[in-house]
Chains A and B, each alone.
Chain A
Amino acid sequence: MQILEIENLSKCFGGLTALNQVNARFEEREIVGIIGPNGAGKTTFINVISGVYPPSSGRIIFDGRDITKLPAHTRCRLGIGRTFQVIHPLQDLNLLQNIMVGSLFGQGNGLREARVKAQEICEFLGLDQLERDTSQLDILEIKKMEMARALATHPKILFLDEIMAGLSADETKEVIETIRTIRDQGITICVVEHVMSVIEELTERVIALDGGRIIAQGQYKEVANNPRVISAYLGEEE
């Protein structure tokens, strides 16, 4: 079943068209990768869907409902979860409290349930010593914390913006496994990633963006060998 549908979505910042007439569909329990060179519009794509920016034009249909005009917090409550490319710990809350925020407001739980829920998610992701300040966490733990905060909102679709950036090969492997498990719980996953091996291993379908347009779509092999994708990454051949 289809969970998210995007129709002719555009986003302009002044004279710059960051997204240009993008159409995309996401099925339930799918793992989709979004690739593209820097400035292709990948993060803008997530920001517009999650409601950080309003789109300039187009429609976003989520779970059979037009959410184009809804504010970010409502979209979150409906089931759109996300992490950020640049890590954003809430530095005045500790590790567990950071995750509780997602459960408290994204899912509307009370304090006690939120605490239990956050603890469960931490256990699932392998986070411990939950009373630590965020300044004491390493990069893997912060990335997991951000993922946990998004998971705690009980999303139906989860956008992960360059979650692997800065992780070692072993850590990457661990996170890939985690993402698979999350999908098996029935959550659609959309990963934005620069690490091609991750995209190849993890995703079932890839969308390639360049200059705000979708230039290719399909299985990783097809997309990676698509001449337009190659030229977008490496430049035109003379």
Chain B
Amino acid sequence: MYATLALSWDMMFRSGQPGLSVAGFFGLGGYAAALSFLYWGVNPLVSIALGCLFSLLVAFILGLVILRIRGLYFSIATMSLSEIFRVIVMNWHRFTGGPSGKALPSAVFNGDSAKIFWLFLVLTLLTVIVSEIFERSRVHFALTSIRNNEIVAKSSGIDVFKYLVVVFALTSALQGMIGGAYAHSYAFISPEGSFNFNFVLLPVTMALFGGIHSTLGPIVGAVILGVVGEYLKLQLPYGHLLVYGVIIVIVILFLPKGIVGTAKERLKRKWATI
């Protein structure tokens, strides 16, 4: 799950825009999926798709507005979006259950954990496929140009705004999709659980840890940090986040390109000397 979030964040970051709305669209997709299932009896899998579509739509409309700003300002705007979603959900008692959230009658596949695992795996694969399509098509050229120099990008015929909005909407949709799956796997949804800031911080850290601007990096980062995180949780029930933080600081200080980025560079150098 974190692999998807980390990767989808990185896909937007390839354009140089550090979005912080991962938790927002994750939660939004989660609520859309859970509520459509609860109220209209939509099939759980279809409702996950609905969560994905709903996030896509909302991100597209909001993207038209907030993608006029860049860099840190964009970060702050997207972060506040998450917060706004959370506040709306908290206060719309009748529909969303307010602060106490909503319980679903049963988890997806009746809580069969093997099937849930496969569901997440398929969704992660889907994200990997989208990311690879980005990397191997003109989208890669557009996003890299925008990140390196927006004026050159514009002057070379790239519709910067269009690319940013579309990518923002698509990556938010992936986040909404995984949010839906998350809600259905726990059969429960609450504002604090879904719009949790950890769903931004951890994916971003994982992407930085593994190596940004690639498909492999965020996935490797998510797998390593995910496993380490679970292990630490067992060993140090309350201190695990601290150790986690120290690891992250060390890696970012000594491997600023992340694990995959550094490994690639080493390999390249080796090839060059041969």
Q: Taking the complex as formed, is B149 at the interface, i.e. its CB lies under 8 A from any CB of chain A?
A: yes
Q: Taking the complex as formed, is A111 at the interface, i.e. its CB lies under 8 A from any CB of chain B?
A: yes
**Surface stretch bound by B, among A56-64, A96-104, A189-197, A216-224:** A96-104
> CB distance B149 to A88 under 8 Å?
yes
**A 91-132 contacts with B by CB, 8 A:** 91-93, 97, 100-102, 104-108, 110-111
Residues of chain A within 8 A (CB-CB) of B192 are none
> CB distance B213 to A102 under 8 Å?
no
> CB distance B154 to A92 under 8 Å?
no
> CB distance A73 to B141 under 8 Å?
no
Q: Taking the complex as formed, is B230 at the interface, i.e. its CB lies under 8 A from any CB of chain A?
A: no
B132-152 CB contact bits vs A (8 Å, 1 = yes)? 000001100110110111011
> CB distance A77 to B157 under 8 Å?
yes
> CB distance A101 to B141 under 8 Å?
yes
Find the A residue at minimum CB distance from B143: A92
The number of chain A residues with a CB under 8 A from chain B is 30
> CB distance B160 to A100 under 8 Å?
no
Find the B residue at minimum CB distance from A152: B156
Distance to closest chain A CB from B201 (angstroms): 26
Q: Taking the complex as formed, is B155 at the interface, i.e. its CB lies under 8 A from any CB of chain A?
A: yes
> CB distance B152 to A73 under 8 Å?
no
Find the B residue at minimum CB distance from A153: B157
> CB distance A153 to B156 under 8 Å?
yes
Distance to closest chain A CB from B231 (angstroms): 35
Find the A residue at minimum CB distance from B159: A73
Q: Taking the complex as formed, is B158 at the interface, i.e. its CB lies under 8 A from any CB of chain A?
A: yes
Residues of chain B within 8 A (CB-CB) of A227 are none
User: Which size class do B's interface residues fall under?
Assistant: 20 to 34
Provided the pairs A101-B141, A105-B138, A105-B141 are in contact, do residues A90 and B148 lie with their beta carbons within 8 angstroms? yes
Residues of chain B within 8 A (CB-CB) of A149 are 152, 156
> CB distance A100 to B141 under 8 Å?
yes
Find the B residue at minimum CB distance from A76: B157
Residues of chain A within 8 A (CB-CB) of B141 are 93, 97, 100-101, 104-105
Distance to closest chain A CB from B27 (angstroms): 32
Q: Taking the complex as formed, is A212 at the interface, i.e. its CB lies under 8 A from any CB of chain B?
A: no
Q: Taking the complex as formed, is A24 at the interface, i.e. its CB lies under 8 A from any CB of chain B?
A: no
> CB distance A90 to B155 under 8 Å?
no
Q: Taking the complex as formed, is A82 at the interface, i.e. its CB lies under 8 A from any CB of chain B?
A: yes
Provided the pairs A50-B155, A72-B154, A72-B155 are in contact, do residues A105 and B142 lie with their beta carbons within 8 angstroms? yes
Find the A residue at minimum CB distance from B160: A73
Q: Taking the complex as formed, is A36 at the interface, i.e. its CB lies under 8 A from any CB of chain B?
A: no
Distance to closest chain B CB from A77 (angstroms): 5
A180 to B145 CA separation, bound complex (whole angstroms): 29
Provided the pairs A93-B141, A97-B141 are in contact, do residues A52 and B154 lie with their beta carbons within 8 angstroms? yes
Provided the pairs A51-B154, A73-B154 are in contact, do residues A93 and B145 lie with their beta carbons within 8 angstroms? yes
Choose one: B137, B144, B157; the contact of A106 (CB below 8 Å). B157
Most buried by A among B137, B149, B156, B160: B156
> CB distance A92 to B138 under 8 Å?
no
**B 208-238 contacts with A by CB, 8 A:** 213
**B 103-145 contacts with A by CB, 8 A:** 137-138, 141-142, 144-145
Residues of chain B within 8 A (CB-CB) of A90 are 144-145, 148-149, 152
A28-61 CB contact bits vs B (8 Å, 1 = yes)? 0000000000000000000000111000000000
Task: List 3 A-B pairs, minimum CB-CB distance, nearest first.
Answer: A106-B157, A105-B157, A72-B154
Enumerate 20 A-B pairs (CB-CB under 8 Å) in ascending A order.
A52-B155, A73-B155, A73-B156, A73-B158, A76-B154, A77-B157, A84-B152, A90-B148, A90-B152, A91-B148, A92-B144, A93-B141, A93-B144, A93-B148, A101-B153, A105-B142, A105-B157, A106-B156, A107-B157, A153-B157
Given pairs A88-B149, A92-B144, 16 additional interface contacts (CB within 8 A): A50-B155, A71-B154, A73-B155, A73-B160, A76-B157, A77-B157, A82-B155, A84-B155, A89-B148, A92-B213, A93-B141, A101-B158, A110-B138, A111-B137, A149-B152, A153-B156
